[in-house]
C-alpha cells in the first residue's frame, strides 16, 4: 500500500488550491445555524459552484455524472477544502455522501439519470429515513410497511432522527416489503418524494439546540415501484452498501476539521494560560496522535476501495469502515471534552461554538450505527469471532 502522492495528484492539489484561493473570498456570510431553509440555499449554492468548476462528485464514476477521479484525489479534495476553510457539505450530506453513491452502485441506468445529476448540481436535497421509534439503530427491527398495490407501494409507519427531513426533496427510506419475514429479510430500499401526500415532518430540537433531525410520519404514502433501488426484499444488502459509504468515507472530511480544531485548542490554551498544565498538554498530544492515526486509517480504507475498483470491484468500503467509525466517534467526544477543559468556565457559554460541538459529539456514537453495532461487525468480520445471538 503506497500512501504517498503521485505527480498527477500533486498537480490536482495545486489546481484545487488555486481555485479555492480565488473563489472563497466572494462567498456570502454563512446563515444562522437554526435557519435551515437559508442553510439549504447556502449549501446548495456552494455545491453549484463546485459543479460548475468540475469538483462535484469527484470520485463518482463518469457514467454516474461524476469526474471519475480516484479516491485518493477525493482525499486531497477533503484536505484542501478544509485547510482553506471552505463550506462543509452541510444539507447535501446524505445525497452526496451515501444516498448518491448507493444509487450509483446499485441503481438502474434510469435511476442514476434521474437522481444523480440534481444531487451533483445542488438542485435536490436528500434525507435519511432509516431509524424508527422502538427500534433505534437496530434496522432489522424496522416496522414501517410497504404493501404492493399495482405499480406502487403503499407505505405506512414512522421514522425518527431523520437527518435534514425539514428541507429535503427526497428520502432514502427503508421499509418492510414482506410482512411475514423477520430480521434482515423482507426489507427494501426506496426513494421517497418528501412532498408526496401522507408525508408529515415534525422537527426535533436536540440537546445542542439544532433542528437537524425530525420525526417523519407516513400515512399510506404511494411510492412508485420504479423508485425501489435494488431488488424487492434485498434492501438489507443495499443498506449495507449505504452504511459502508457512510461509515467509511462520509466522515473523512470531519477528521481534517477535527485536526484543525485541535490546532486552535493549542493556540487558545497558550493564550489563556492553560498550556502551563502538563496534563492538558499530554492530553492534546494524545489527541493529535489519535487523529493522525484516524487519517491514516481513512487513507488505508480508501486505498483498499481504490484497489477494488482497479480489480473490477464495486469500490465499496469494507469492514475497516466500522473500525474507523467506532474510534472516530470516541475521538470526537474526547476532542470537545478537551476543548471544555481549555475553555474553563467559558465552556458553559451555550453560544460558544465548541460548547455546541461538545453536545453534538454525543450523537456520534449513535449515527451510522451505534458503537455496539460497530463492535459486533469488527468482531465477526475482522476478527472472525462467532456471530452474536
Catalytically active residues, by annotation: 246
Q: 106 in helix, strand or coil?
A: helix
Q: CA–CA distance from 258 to each of 82, 163, 297 (Å)?
A: 10, 21, 15
Element (H, E) at 229: strand 228-229
Q: What is the DSSP string of 233-298?
A: TBHHHHHHHHHHHHHHTTTHHHHHHHHHHHHHHHHHHHHHTGGG-HHHHHHHHHHHHHHHHHHHHH
Please give the Cα distance from 358 to 185 (Å, whole number).
Answer: 37
Per residue in 270-279, is it b (16+ CB within 10 Å) or e — as a string?
A: eeeebbeeee
Which has the closest alpha carbon to 341: 301, 384, 283, 300? 283
Q: 23 in helix, strand or coil?
A: helix
Cell of 287: 489527541
The phi and psi torsions of 219 (rounded to 5 degrees) equal -115, 95
Other CB atoms within 10 A of residue 188 CB? 26
Please give the Cα distance from 256 to 97 (Å, whole number).
Answer: 16
Cell of 200: 408529515
Q: 337 in helix, strand or coil?
A: helix
Sequence-distant contacts of 136-143: CB under 8 A, at least 24 apart:
136/366, 136/370, 137/366, 137/369, 137/370, 137/373, 139/174, 139/187, 139/236, 139/239, 140/182, 140/183, 140/184, 140/187, 140/236, 142/174, 142/175, 142/176, 142/187, 143/176
- Greatest C-alpha distance within the chain: 71
Please give the Cα distance from 71 to 62 (Å, whole number).
Answer: 13
Amino acid at each position: 500500500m503506497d500512501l504517498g502522492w503521485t505527480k498527477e495528484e500533486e498537480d490536482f492539489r495545486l489546481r484545487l488550491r488555486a481555485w479555492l484561493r480565488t473563489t472563497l473570498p466572494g462567498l456570502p456570510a454563512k446563515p444562522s445555524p437554526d435557519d435551515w431553509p437559508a442553510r439549504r440555499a447556502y449549501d446548495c449554492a456552494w455545491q453549484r459552484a463546485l459543479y460548475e468548476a468540475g469538483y462535484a462528485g469527484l470520485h463518482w464514476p463518469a457514467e454516474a455524472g461524476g469526474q471519475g477521479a480516484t479516491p485518493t484525489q477525493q482525499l486531497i479534495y477533503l484536505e484542501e477544502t478544509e485547510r482553506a476553510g471552505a463550506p462543509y457539505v452541510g444539507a447535501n450530506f446524505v445525497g452526496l455522501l451515501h444516498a448518491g453513491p448507493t444509487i450509483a452502485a446499485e441503481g438502474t441506468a434510469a435511476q442514476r439519470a434521474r437522481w444523480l445529476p440534481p444531487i451533483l448540481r445542488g438542485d435536490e436535497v436528500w434525507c435519511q429515513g432509516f431509524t424508527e421509534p422502538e427500534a433505534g439503530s437496530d434496522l432489522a427491527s424496522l416496522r414501517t410497511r410497504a404493501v404492493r398495490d399495482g405499480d406502487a407501494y403503499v407505505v405506512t409507519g414512522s421514522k425518527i432522527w431523520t437527518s435534514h427531513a425539514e428541507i429535503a426533496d427526497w428520502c432514502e427510506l427503508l421499509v418492510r416489503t414482506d410482512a411475514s419475514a423477520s430480521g434482515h429479510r423482507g426489507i427494501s430500499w426506496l426513494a421517497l418524494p418528501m412532498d408526496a401526500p401522507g408525508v408529515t415532518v415534525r422537527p426535533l430540537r436536540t440537546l445542542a439546540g439544532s433542528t437537524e433531525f425530525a420525526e417523519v410520519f407516513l400515512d399510506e404514502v404511494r411510492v412508485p415501484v420504479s423508485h425501489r433501488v435494488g431488488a424487492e426484499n434485498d434492501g438489507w444488502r443495499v443498506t449495507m452498501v449505504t452504511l459502508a459509504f457512510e461509515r467509511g468515507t462520509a466522515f473523512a472530511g470531519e477528521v481534517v476539521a477535527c485536526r484543525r480544531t485541535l490546532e486552535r485548542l493549542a493556540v487558545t490554551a497558550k493564550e489563556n494560560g492553560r498550556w502551563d498544565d502538563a496534563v492538558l498538554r499530554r492530553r492534546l498530544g494524545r489527541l493529535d496522535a489519535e487523529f493522525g492515526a484516524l487519517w491514516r486509517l481513512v487513507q488505508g480504507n480508501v486505498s483498499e476501495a481504490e484497489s477494488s475498483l482497479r480489480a473490477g470491484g464495486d469500490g465499496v468500503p469494507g469492514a475497516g469502515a466500522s473500525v474507523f467509525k467506532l474510534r472516530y466517534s470516541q475521538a470526537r467526544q474526547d476532542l470537545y471534552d478537551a476543548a471544555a477543559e481549555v475553555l474553563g468556565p467559558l465552556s458553559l457559554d451555550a453560544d460558544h461554538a465548541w460548547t455546541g460541538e461538545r453536545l453534538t459529539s454525543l450523537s456520534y456514537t449513535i449515527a451510522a450505527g451505534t458503537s455496539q453495532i460497530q463492535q459486533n461487525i469488527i468482531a465477526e468480520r475482522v476478527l472472525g469471532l462467532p456471530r452474536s445471538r
